[in-house]
Amino acid sequence: MDRRPLPIGRGDNLLRDLSVHADNIRRYALRMGEVQGQGYIGQALGIADVLAVAYCHALKLRPSEPEWEGRDRFLLSHGHYGIAFYAALIEAGIIPEKELETYGCDGSRLPMSGMASYTPGMEISGGSLGQGLVIAVGMALGLRQKNNPAFVYNSMSDGELDEGSTWEAAMSAAHHGLSNLIALVDVNRQQADGTSVNILGFEPLHEKFAAFGWFVQRVDGNDLSAVLAAFDAAREHAEPRPRVIIFDTKMGKGVPFLEEREKNHFIRVDADEWQKAIAVLDAKGAVQ
Amino acid sequence: MNVNVSTGKPRLTTSAMIASIAEAGQRTKAAPFGHALCKVAEERADIVGMTADLSKYTDLHIFAQAHPERFFQMGMAEQLLMGAAGGMAKEGFVPFATTYAVFASRRAYDFIHQVIAEEHLDVKIACALPGLTTGYGPSHQATEDIAIMRGIPGMTIVDPCDAHEIEQIVPAIAAHKGPVYMRLLRGQVPLVLDEYDYVFELGKAKLIRDGRDVLIVSSGLMTMRALEVAKAMAGGDADVAVLHVPTIKPLDERTIVREASRGGRLVVVAENHTVVGGLGEAVAGALLRAGQAPKFRQVALPDAFLAAGALPTLHDRYGISTTAMVASLKAWLA
Ligand SMILES: Cc1ncc(C[n+]2csc(CCOP(=O)(O)OP(=O)(O)O)c2C)c(N)n1
Ligand SMILES: [Mg+2]
């Protein structure tokens, strides 16, 4: 049975609802990880709160019509976060829950690295990192040219800050005054070879984007009320500049034994731990 | 093997970036590139290692641990990696620069072409995930890396078959003056050619086994497959010779033409690469220029964006698995 998405909106219970959405996203991602016995689960658990606010609050979408012309575009530049993104698409009602059983398997619509031609709601084929923000500039220019008021969100990893193309796009977006472009940067301090700052130092990030002409916010990406406020402020900001929200996130968030595990590009998860992690989330839900 | 909880059946999974191409039970050696580079570096102070956030995934971390003062982490910035490797070479160092084959050949191409190759600088580009060695889809499948690199004047291209060959290639390309593109197998790398007393020589094709009916001309992991095909067909189907061509550029045209024109055999070029612009077309051109036109077939990846999925499935589907090759050969011989 598909889990029906909870009502989406701005009620008194919004934060509580979003926290349920976020944990649902975490559960779906864990179930997909179990299918393959591996995956970028540390990243998925870390970014679940951001995706919950995006998909269950901020984005204009029609779940049954993923290519609706009026939709906000959400670009998954870091294609390896597909596992997290599919979980959000399930929670938003865009793909059916039962499909997570096929994650990464032959013939699946949910390949391990996100691709536009495979998955409804997937705008680009990310994965060759550092391309999303460049594409987002073009889509934002195109939307403005068409007088389409939709936003372009580009979700990206902190590793993508290393690529020159990211900064070409950053300069271009400011030059063109792309107020319809919102970049979301997941600063989880992790890259393939180790801790981000040891790979290529990108701080001070707030100041860097500001110097490039962007409206910048930096928040705890696992503090739902801060994430929510940042999304709202990014959309409502009046100046004609591109917007970036820098999210400091914790890999493994929501599952203490994974939060504490040694951090790696691939966090180790033993075969019996997928269900244990889900049980941790279930227990938390029961208390709320 | 992962098991589907509801059906209890083993499930074919997308091979992770850390996976090995070795088959179950195959003899392997760990990180031959990293260990071989350390050995060369002990004798030569000018060797440096550089990577774009992929040392752990190209076995360069072995070098980084042994020689931290000669290791340069450039961040996930492939254009910078190649341009800076060129800069180091201009100052007298011999950089081994590593990333995935897609990112060197596609993202950093102009930097390789202009900074490194145009000045014939001494940079060795060593790239993991060559051809179809990951199920992550086109973003990570370097199906045309050889075609891209062959277009650069003066670029030496090597495509080793196994750990035994990688150990010999690393000192050989370090000794060679000029830019080199090396296709890298990393992690637990199969050991095959030691059984054939094989010796690598830069620029030389080597006949690994002889046979009367078919000549397979191959490079990289396809030589391992070709040898399996030869064994599988030895029972009476066909007598298959295998000519291994680890140096794709410059191509050992003399040996290839000599072998291909000997004995009226079916000539099959087998490569882990698109049918466009790789070893197959290089061999075809060499044969035609030499006035030879044997019956000629290619085992190669189609000119298409390939699917995501489990590697064994994909190798079967695109015709480069041992089983698929045996079927093709039988059809061509019929
Ligand atoms: C252009 C490019 N270069 C290299 C890679 C290989 N790669 C995949 S993920 C990754 C780490 C990048 O950092 P980040 O996305 O922040 O990693 P994570 O937080 O997921 O550990 C690298 C180098 C790639 N996919 N694309
Ligand atoms: Mg990261």
In whole angstroms, give the CA distance from residue A19 to residue A13: 10
**Residues contacting B74, CB < 8 A, separation 6+:** A200, B50, B51, B52, B53, B80, B81, B84
**What backbone torsions phi and psi does residue B114 show, to the nearest 5 degrees?**
-85, -45
The reply to whether CATH 3.40.50.300 applies to domain B203-333 is no
C-beta A24 within 6 A of ligand 1: no
**Residues contacting A231, CB < 8 A, separation 6+:** A53, A54, A57, A58, A245
In whole angstroms, give the CA distance from residue A264 to residue B154: 39
- B270, β-bridge pairs: B218, B299
Residue of B nearest to A82 (CA): B136
Domain count along chain A: 1
Domain ranges of chain B: 24-190, 203-333
The predicted pLDDT at position B11 comes to 61
How is residue A279 written in tokens?
Answer: 């049980």
In whole angstroms, give the CA distance from residue A248 to residue A184: 11
How is residue B66 written in tokens?
Answer: 């042994």
Type and span of the H or E element at B267 = strand B266-274
The predicted pLDDT at position B20 comes to 75
Structural domain B24-190, CATH architecture: 3-Layer(aba) Sandwich (3.40)
Q: Tell me the residue range of the domain where A25 lies.
A: 14-287
How is residue B217 written in tokens?
Answer: 């001309």
In a domain, A66, yes or no: yes
Q: What is the pLDDT of residues A172-221, one digit of tens each?
A: 999 999 999 999 999 999 999 999 999 999 999 999 999 999 999 999 99
In whole angstroms, give the CA distance from residue B103 to residue B101: 6
The predicted pLDDT at position A5 comes to 45
**Cβ-based contacts under 8 A for chains A and B:** 102
Residue of B nearest to A158 (CA): B76
Q: Is the pLDDT of residue A10 over 60?
A: no
Type and span of the H or E element at A46 = helix A41-53
Whose structure tokens read 């760990």? B30
DSSP secondary structure letter of residue B103: I
Contact of B242 with B268, CB cutoff 8 Å = no
Angle (nearest 5°) at CA B59 between B170 and A111: 125
Whose structure tokens read 């009367």? B212
In whole angstroms, give the CA distance from residue B201 to residue B88: 27
Distance A192 CA to ligand 1 centre (A): 6
In whole angstroms, give the CA distance from residue A133 to residue A139: 10
Closest ligand, as measured to the CA of A155: 1
Name the least confident of A3-17, A222-236, B56-70. A3-17
CATH at residue A80: 3.40.50.970
In whole angstroms, give the CA distance from residue A103 to residue A113: 10
Radius of gyration of chain A (CA): 18
How long is chain B?
334
C-beta B296 within 6 A of ligand 1: no
Residue of B nearest to A192 (CA): B53
Q: What is the largest CA-CA distance in chain A?
A: 52
The predicted pLDDT at position B23 comes to 85
Distance of CA A240 to CAs A136, A180, A207, Å?
Answer: 16, 9, 18
- A190, β-bridge pairs: A195
Whether the bond between B130 and the residue before it is cis, its omega within 30 degrees of 0, is no
The predicted pLDDT at position A3 comes to 37
- pTM (2 decimals)? 0.95
In a domain, A111, yes or no: yes
Q: What is the pLDDT of residues A20-73, one digit of tens each?
A: 999 999 999 999 999 999 899 999 999 999 999 999 999 999 999 999 999 999
Average pLDDT of the residues in A99-117: 96
Distance A160 CA to ligand 2 centre (A): 8
Type and span of the H or E element at B40 = helix B32-43
C-beta A158 within 6 A of ligand 1: yes
Whose structure tokens read 């440096």? B48
Q: What is the pLDDT of residues B154-195, one digit of tens each?
A: 999 999 999 999 999 999 999 999 999 999 999 999 999 999
Sign, Cα dihedral of A202, A207, A210, A216: positive
In a domain, A2, yes or no: no
Kindly list the averaged pLDDT for each block of 10 residues, start to end, along chain B of length 334: 50 62 91 98 98 98 98 98 98 98 98 98 98 97 98 98 98 98 97 97 98 98 98 95 98 98 96 98 98 98 97 96 98 97
Distance A249 CA to ligand 2 centre (A): 9
Name the residue of A191, A200, A202, A268 to mutate for ligand 1: max ligand atoms within 8 A of Cβ. Answer: A191
- Torsion of Cα atoms, B268 then B274 then B280 then B282, to 10°: -170
**What backbone torsions phi and psi does residue A248 show, to the nearest 5 degrees?**
-85, 115
In chain A, residues with a C-beta closer than 8 Å to the C-beta of B79 are 164
Distance B241 CA to ligand 1 centre (A): 42
In chain A, residues with a C-beta closer than 8 Å to the C-beta of B12 are 105-106
